[in-house]
Amino acid sequence: MVKRRHTSLDSNPGCAVEAAISLIDGKWKSVALWYLHERGEVRFNELMRLMSGVTQRTLTNQLRELEADGLINRVVYAQVPPKVEYSLSDRGRTFIPILLSLSAWGEANMDLFQKSETAAQ
């Protein structure tokens, strides 16, 4: 069962931003959304291969949360071996322009990431 992560919203400035960010706050959620955007329908094992470093349990949990929040679709095919495919939902597709903007901002500001890595060493 997916744990409910979202609290009630109020009218404070920035609340909608906080709500939106809470939907993608997992380490691997935005990466999964990126690959689903790039490739369309993707099987679980293909996502595992694409997202090197993620554990099966973590990816399963992140995908369940994205599905529960309505950002992705999960289709199970009744066959042996079982086949499960993930794709962006209509609501998930509305997030892609934001994800592309985040990617562009990240590329333009990669020096910030490199500085924080150097400081940690």
Query: Tens digit of pLDDT for each residue in 79-110?
Result: 998 899 999 999 999 999 999 999 999 999 99
The sheet carrying 42-43 orders its strands as: 42-43, 83-88, 72-77
For tokens 């993930």, what's the residue? 86
Does residue 90 form part of some domain?
Answer: yes
Does residue 23 form part of some domain?
Answer: no
> Rounded to whole angstroms, how far apart are CA atoms 42 and 86?
5
More confident: 9 or 74: 74
Give the amino acid at 104.
Answer: A
Domain count, the chain: 1
Confidence of residue 1 (pLDDT cuts 50, 70, 90): very low
Q: What is the pLDDT of residue 2?
A: 44
Does residue 3 form part of some domain?
Answer: no
Enter the pTM of the model.
0.81
Confidence of residue 13 (pLDDT cuts 50, 70, 90): low
Q: What is the pLDDT of residue 116?
A: 62
Which residues fall within 8 angstroms of residue 74, CB to CB, at 6 or more apart? Answer: 63, 67, 84, 85, 86
Does residue 34 form part of some domain?
Answer: yes
Cα–Cα distances in angstroms (integers) from residue 67 to residues 56, 71, 87, 93, in the given order: 16, 6, 10, 13
Q: What is the pLDDT of residue 119?
A: 64
Does residue 50 form part of some domain?
Answer: yes
| Domain range for 78 | 28-120
- Give the other-Cβ count within 10 Å of 58's Cβ: 14
Mean pLDDT of all residues in 33-39: 97
Which residues fall within 8 angstroms of residue 21, CB to CB, at 6 or more apart? Answer: none
Which residues fall within 8 angstroms of residue 108, CB to CB, at 6 or more apart? Answer: none
- For residue 60, give the CATH number of its domain: 1.10.10.10
Does residue 40 form part of some domain?
Answer: yes
Q: What is the pLDDT of residue 19?
A: 84
